[in-house]
Amino acid sequence: MTLTLANHRVMKSNGNMKNFTCLLVLALFTFSAANAQKKKELIAQIEQLKQEKTALQGELSTAKRNATVNKAEADALQEQLDGLKETNESLMSSMTSFTTLSEKKSENLERSLALVKEKDKQLDSINAAIRANNAQRVAILTTFKNELAGDAAVRMIEDKVHITIANSTLFGDPDKSHTVAEEAKGALEKIANIMKADSTLHITIHGNSNAVKFSNKLITDNWDLSALQAAAVARVFQTDFAIDPKRMDASAESEYNTEAVETVTRFVIASNFESFFYSIKEIMDNGSD
């Protein structure tokens, strides 16, 4: 009975061991299954994390590339902005310079226009003086023509009045005489009176002769005779009609420069150009006023 009880205990103990073993195996299996499930889940999570990491790395790379591109674009835009600022500053400077230059040009133009107007006034004054001088010469010519009608030939040559009187009228015998005939003094007086009325006139007397024989031993040739004849006329102007000798010149031309077969004495009368010149110079120096 004791053996039976022991066997029973042994059998019971074996049964308990089997149960424990089964429980242990079940527990291990359950634990293993749970661990496998957890491992699988962990692996899935790890894989997901890897994918997320890869995606994030891709996004990061893209973001870095975009950042690089954006920085490059930003730098380019900044460079363009700096260039535009510089260009704008240059344009503003140029505009300021252009405005200043335009103002100076405008001032210069105004001064130039004023000078042109002043020069126009001067030219008008000079032209008026020339017209007045021309009118004066025409008036002088007309006066001589009117006064000497029938006594002498009168014409205008190169702005000078030319009067010619035949030597036969002035000296009677032009081949020999160098004394002014009394009949000729009337014409000379008319010339003298016109000269007295205008103190600006100057007269040059051109003697001219073509004598063949000379009975007077003091006269060698026509140079001598024409000089004596011109001097005789000048002397009459001075002594008989009180013409200032400073307003006269006497010139001998011998038998040269004759105008016809008959010899003549030529009187060339000109206005004092010096006074006209100084009037023009005064206009140029002082303006049109």
Q: Over the stretch 13-69, which tens digit does the pLDDT of each residue have?
A: 566 666 666 666 666 666 666 667 777 777 888 888 778 878 877 877 777 777 777
Q: Which H helix or E strand runs over 108?
A: helix 2-147
Residues in the chain predicted with pLDDT less than 50, given as ranges, are none
Q: Which H helix or E strand runs over 183?
A: none
Residues composing the chain: 289
- For position 232, what pLDDT does the model report? 96
Q: Who contacts 201 (Cβ-Cβ below 8 Å, separation ≥6)?
A: 140, 194, 195, 247, 269, 270, 271, 272
- For position 274, what pLDDT does the model report? 56
CATH T-level topology, domain 148-286:
60s Ribosomal Protein L30; Chain: A; (3.30.1330)
- For position 230, what pLDDT does the model report? 96
Q: Who contacts 8 (Cβ-Cβ below 8 Å, separation ≥6)?
A: none
- For position 241, what pLDDT does the model report? 96
Residue 182: CB atoms within 10 A of its CB come to 8
pTM score over 0.75: no
Rounded to the nearest 10 degrees, the angle between the axes of helix 273-286 and helix 2-147 is 160
- For position 218, what pLDDT does the model report? 82
C-beta separation of 191 from 287 below 8 A = no
- For position 58, what pLDDT does the model report? 80
- For position 281, what pLDDT does the model report? 66
- For position 26, what pLDDT does the model report? 63
